[in-house]
A and B are shown apart, each in its own frame.
Chain A
Amino acid sequence: GENVEQHPSTLSVQEGDSAVIKCTYSDSASNYFPWYKQELGKRPQLIIDIRSNVGEKKDQRIAVTLNKTAKHFSLHITETQPEDSAVYFCAAWDSGYTSGSARQLTFGSGTQLTVLP
């Protein structure tokens, strides 16, 4: 099935700096890539997503880029704030057509982002 790799596993930045989290996926048929933010003990919260017909999407301080050729996508957070500290998960939609596995969102292993005041 789909394999999603996420880097780095931990990331510390100073408040006000930018943070970048990168993910790669294996199934070229994947066409939907959401990002979730999960604070400790809470639900994953959808923060932004991108579909394969666009290369970049922005929402205030958050942006996501997608390179279909290279099969990687990235989350960019600018002007980081302490409340951005959380675990961030990328995911890719596996349609199952090429992988033969169940149609599902396959998640990366997560990035613990810490924003230092």
Chain B
Amino acid sequence: DSGVTQTPKHLITATGQRVTLRCSPRSGDLSVYWYQQSLDQGLQFLIQYYNGEERAKGNILERFSAQQFPDLHSELNLSSLELGDSALYFCASSVGDGGAYEQYFGPGTRLTVT
């Protein structure tokens, strides 16, 4: 157990819908990272927050957005869902900001868009 929690574990929804994924970092960690893992794309970085502020943006679609709250938990919002958005979504946390810090992954949310 990494100490990072994610809810829900599974999510099944229809195309066009909007969902929210939630992540709580390890105690003491200030950074939260979001990743998408699909069979053909591997692990893709989406976005990072550090202490409530956006710090880096990767291959995140405009239909997706995220935020980090004062208690440091983070939410990833996916809207206008398409079949191709079906994937495992992981969040990871680290104590600091940047590459020198280990990232610990949560158990993931499996999203299925039908």
Contact = CB atoms under 8 A, between A and B. Distances in A.
> What size tier do the contact residues of chain A reach?
20 to 34
A106 interface: yes
Contacts, number: 61
Interface in A28-84: 30-32, 34, 36, 42-46, 49, 51
A30 B98 CA distance: 12
Contacts of B65: none
A55 B46 CA distance: 30
B48 interface: yes
Contacts of A45: 2, 105
B106 interface: yes
Interface of A: 30-32, 34, 36, 42-46, 49, 51, 89, 91, 93-96, 101-110
